[in-house]
């Protein structure tokens, strides 16, 4: 079918989309003033929040990198009749509303929760409303991301290389370490970077388990609702810059691959 | 070591890939598995190597069952069609991969690396990465990677299919030389009948996972047991015919489109047959020597025809001849220089000569379809 005005239509859609997606960024830059923004960011309370966010996100990403890679490996190389169901189950946090995820974590790890109650009774350990809870929430949300990245990384390695490794006498572990990991490194690193950015930006689930603790997204919410535009602007800009850097890095890794 | 398969079957996603495959291959011998793509050739190798679990039947190596052993404990080398060299390792690291996995000593690694790379003439390429090597060089590295482990059995999955004609010939000779020198039992998979004829002490034809014929290359190529095998082994002339007279169990007279040939290879019950005439078994004759059909006294058959087209590939001449009687066409291949030297003129009279031993007849069903070359 001939549609002569199609290129014009594409241009209009691209322009409208640019307008829509660009407007929040323009608005943020318009609202942000360098002097107010920096003084708000250099406040001790805000620095603690930034550090809390970065530390919990780093720890959560570290755990997610290991567990997600192992899950990705399992679902790529140990497929069986239940794999599809299991993989769907482990991917749920990707589409689950984060607030629901946070609520479920409360039910499981809260002081009266399924796992939280025996932990508290046996060791007087309380997870909820601590840094550990923040890590747990971020880990819950970003592990499926890492699993998917690892899965696609391993699928890109030609099957004959894995077979060749086994036929040459390498065990499954040696094949994983010497063949799969080196060949999947760029995709795995991109997955880790993306997972870290997602962990730093996690809001819904973290909010449910944070108690009085605050991360950058929670602080933005609190300050924006409280009318403290300086901190909200500064932290939002920080997240925008972090996200931009992450995407740039991931794209660069993609090109190298 | 002797490799023996007894009724090995494989099913993937409810599709039968291998159907009760059995054969016995003596130590140091080579077996070529010949078949179309999708016939199950590669899967057969993977089952033997332990890369796919054997579901049914038995695989024995040196008399011992190896079905329960993981690939690394089977002593079987595998050379893949796409070479399967590790792209992040140079040639040396690729070749030593298996020895490192076995925690071999530096002395042992050095000794075998030197010996095998010299043999395969790749000792100057060891620092290069796979992307810096030609297809032939990559395949040599892949072969070296298997050979340094001194396997009891070497499995090769279409190792020459991705190479150009010149590299293919060189590597085929090299593989054969290495196999004989190290006396390794070799299973070689291909869909190329020329490779099958050259590489194997034995040939096994696989179709839809089933062994349809096995035997020496001479048997498979001269005495195919079905039209499929005849066609697959490049018997270009497969003509519908009838056995008109059975002399004894040794000789029969067959007739196709009015031409008569004496055959010494035919079904004893007679009747409708396919006559299989390999192009290289037919000779072109010129001149006025007596042109006769077959009779009881004449072991060599001669049939009259006219040359209608010719093609001169490397190493010979392929001529299409239309027979005087019946208009049927037969393809003749001659590697002889005399045919090349003779001035080839389309439309010339050209008679065909074939010995009775090379007229092979297969039973024919009434609904079999005939396609002229």
pLDDT, average across residues A92-101? 94
Say if CB B273 and CB B243 are below 8 A apart.
Answer: yes
Q: Say which residues have a Cβ less than 8 Å from residue A18's Cβ, sequence separation at least 6.
A: none
pLDDT for A47 beyond 70: yes
Output the six-digit token pair for B12: 């993937």
**Domain-embedded: residue A253:** no
Average pLDDT, rounded, for chain A: 92
pLDDT of residue B140: 93
**Domain-embedded: residue A252:** no
Least confident of A107-116, B178-187, B282-291: B282-291
Enumerate the residues of chain B whose CB falls inside 8 A of the CB of residue A183. 86-88
In a mutagenesis test of the A interface, which of B101, B104, B161 is the best target, namely the one with the most A β-carbons within 10 Å? B101
Enumerate the residues of chain A whose CB falls inside 8 A of the CB of residue B77. 167
**Domain containing residue A78: CATH number:** 1.10.3720.10
pLDDT for A128 beyond 60: yes
pLDDT of residue B295: 47
pLDDT for B237 beyond 80: yes
pLDDT, average across residues B228-247? 88
Specify which residues B207 forms β-bridges with.
B210
DSSP output for B60-109: EETTEE-TTS-GGGS-EEEE-TT----TTS-HHHHHHHHHHHTT--HHHH
Say if CB A75 and CB A151 are below 8 A apart.
Answer: yes
pLDDT, average across residues B339-356? 72
Q: Which of B126, B54, B46, B116 is nearest to B90 (CA)?
A: B126
pLDDT for A256 beyond 70: no
- Residue A174: which domain range? 56-214
Residue in chain B closest to A164 (alpha carbons) equals: B84
Residue in chain A closest to B104 (alpha carbons) equals: A169
pLDDT by residue (tens digit) across A55-86? Answer: 999 999 999 999 999 999 999 998 888 888 99
Q: What is residue B225's three-state secondary structure?
A: coil
For residue B51, give the nearest of A158, A166, A171 by CB distance. A166
**What is the count of structural domains for chain A?**
1
pLDDT for B219 beyond 70: yes
Name the pLDDT band for B289 (thresholds 50, 70, 90): low
Enumerate the residues of chain B whose CB falls inside 8 A of the CB of residue A167. 49, 51, 71-72, 76-78, 146
pLDDT of residue B307: 76
Name the pLDDT band for A150 (thresholds 50, 70, 90): very high
**Domain-embedded: residue A189:** yes
Output the six-digit token pair for B20: 């009760």
Q: Say which residues have a Cβ less than 8 Å from residue A109's Cβ, sequence separation at least 6.
A: A115, A116, A119, A127, A128, A133, A136, A209
Name the pLDDT band for B207 (thresholds 50, 70, 90): very high
pLDDT, average across residues A44-48? 91
Average pLDDT, rounded, for chain B: 87
Q: Which of B368, B367, B18 is nearest to B228 (CA)?
A: B368
pLDDT for B372 beyond 60: no
Whether the predicted interface score ipTM is above 0.85: no
% of chain B with per-residue pLDDT over 90: 49
In a mutagenesis test of the A interface, which of B42, B49, B80 is the best target, namely the one with the most A β-carbons within 10 Å? B80
The domains located in chain B, with CATH, are 3-222 (3.40.50.300), 235-363 (2.40.50.100)
pLDDT of residue B92: 97
pLDDT of residue B187: 96
pLDDT of residue B65: 93
pLDDT for B296 beyond 50: no
pLDDT, average across residues A191-211? 94
Q: Which of B352, B366, B281 is nearest to B323 (CA)?
A: B352
Kindly list the residues of chain A whose beta carbon comes within 8 Å of any beta carbon in chain B: 158, 160-161, 163-171, 174, 178-179, 182-183
pLDDT, average across residues B331-352? 69
List strand residue ranges (DSSP E) for A41-161, in order: none
Pick the more confident residue, B291 or B64. Answer: B64
Most confident option among A28-32, A177-181, B306-310: A177-181
Q: Chain B closest CA to A247's CA: distance in Å?
A: 26
pLDDT of residue B341: 47
pLDDT for B30 beyond 90: yes
Say if CB B269 and CB B303 are below 8 A apart.
Answer: no
For residue B72, give the nearest of A170, A178, A183 by CB distance. A170
pLDDT of residue A192: 94
pLDDT by residue (tens digit) across B133-189? Answer: 999 999 999 999 999 999 999 999 999 988 888 888 888 999 999 999 889 999 999
pLDDT for B290 beyond 80: no
Q: What's the count of helices (H) and strands (E) in chain B, helices before strands?
A: 9, 21
pLDDT of residue B371: 57
Name the pLDDT band for B292 (thresholds 50, 70, 90): very low
Could you give the residue ranges of the DSSP H alpha helices within A44-82? 44-77
pLDDT of residue B343: 58
Count other C-beta atoms under 10 Å from residue B215's C-beta: 16
Q: Chain B closest CA to A179's CA: distance in Å?
A: 7
């Amino acid at each position: 079918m001939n549609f002569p005005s199609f290129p014009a239509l594409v241009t209009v859609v691209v322009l409208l989309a640019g307008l829509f997606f660009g407007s929040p960024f323009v608005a943020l830059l318009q609202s942000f003033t360098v002097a107010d923004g920096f003084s708000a960011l250099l406040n001790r309370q805000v620095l603690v929040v930034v550090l809390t966010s970065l530390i919990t996100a780093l720890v959560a990403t570290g755990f997610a990198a290991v567990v997600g890679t192992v899950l990705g490996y399992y679902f790529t190389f140990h497929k069986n009749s239940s794999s599809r169901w299991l993989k769907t189950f482990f991917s749920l946090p990707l589409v689950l509303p984060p607030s629901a995820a946070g609520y479920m974590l409360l039910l499981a790890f809260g002081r009266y929760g399924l796992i939280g109650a025996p932990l508290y009774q046996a060791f007087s350990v309380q997870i909820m409303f601590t840094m550990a809870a923040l890590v747990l929430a971020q880990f819950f949300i970003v592990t499926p991301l890492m699993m998917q990245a690892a899965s696609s990384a391993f699928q890109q390695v030609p099957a004959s290389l894995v077979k060749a490794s086994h036929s040459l006498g390498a065990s499954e572990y040696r094949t994983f370490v010497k063949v799969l990991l080196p060949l999947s490194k760029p995709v795995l690193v991109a997955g880790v970077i993306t997972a870290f950015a997602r962990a730093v930006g996690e809001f819904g689930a973290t909010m449910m388990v944070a108690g009085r603790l605050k991360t950058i997204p929670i602080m933005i919410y609190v300050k924006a609702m409280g009318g403290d535009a300086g901190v909200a602007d500064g932290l939002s800009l920080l997240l925008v810059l972090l996200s931009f850097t992450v995407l740039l890095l991931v794209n660069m890794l993609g090109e190298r691959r | 070591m002797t490799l023996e398969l007894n009724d090995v079957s494989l099913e993937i996603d409810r599709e039968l890939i291998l159907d009760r495959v059995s054969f016995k291959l003596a130590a140091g011998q080579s077996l070529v598995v010949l078949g179309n793509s999708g016939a199950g050739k590669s899967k057969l190798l993977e089952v033997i190597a332990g890369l796919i679990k054997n579901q049914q039947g038995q695989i024995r190596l040196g008399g011992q069952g190896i079905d329960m052993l993981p690939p690394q404990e089977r002593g079987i080398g595998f050379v893949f069609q796409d070479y399967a060299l590790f792209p992040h390792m140079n040639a040396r690291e690729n070749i030593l991969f298996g020895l490192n996995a076995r925690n071999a000593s530096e002395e042992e690694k050095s000794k075998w690396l030197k010996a095998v790379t010299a043999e395969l003439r790749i000792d100057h390429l060891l620092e290069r990465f796979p992307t810096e090597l030609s297809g032939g060089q990559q395949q040599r590295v892949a072969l070296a990677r298997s050979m340094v482990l001194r396997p009891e059995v070497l499995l090769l999955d279409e190792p020459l299919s991705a190479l150009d004609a010149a590299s293919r010939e060189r590597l085929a000779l090299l593989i054969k030389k290495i196999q004989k020198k190290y006396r390794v039992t070799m299973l070689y998979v291909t869909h190329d009948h020329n490779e099958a004829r050259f590489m194997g002490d034995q040939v096994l034809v696989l179709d839809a996972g089933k062994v349809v014929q096995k035997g020496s290359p001479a048997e498979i190529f001269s005495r195919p047991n079905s039209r499929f095998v005849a066609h697959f082994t490049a018997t270009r002339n497969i003509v519908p015919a009838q056995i008109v007279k059975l002399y004894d169990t040794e000789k029969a007279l067959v007739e196709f489109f009015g031409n008569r040939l004496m055959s010494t290879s035919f079904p004893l019950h007679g009747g409708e047959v396919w006559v299989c005439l390999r192009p290289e078994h037919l000779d072109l004759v010129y001149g006025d020597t007596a042109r006769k059909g077959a009779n009881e006294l004449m072991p060599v058959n001669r049939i009259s025809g006219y040359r209608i087209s010719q093609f001169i590939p490397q190493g010979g001449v392929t001529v299409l001849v239309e027979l005087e009687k019946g208009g049927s066409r037969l393809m003749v291949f001659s590697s002889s220089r005399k045919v090349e030297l003779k001035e080839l003129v389309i439309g010339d009279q050209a008679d065909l000569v074939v010995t009775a031993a090379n007229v092979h007849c297969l039973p024919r069903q009434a609904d079999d379809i005939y396609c002229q070359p």
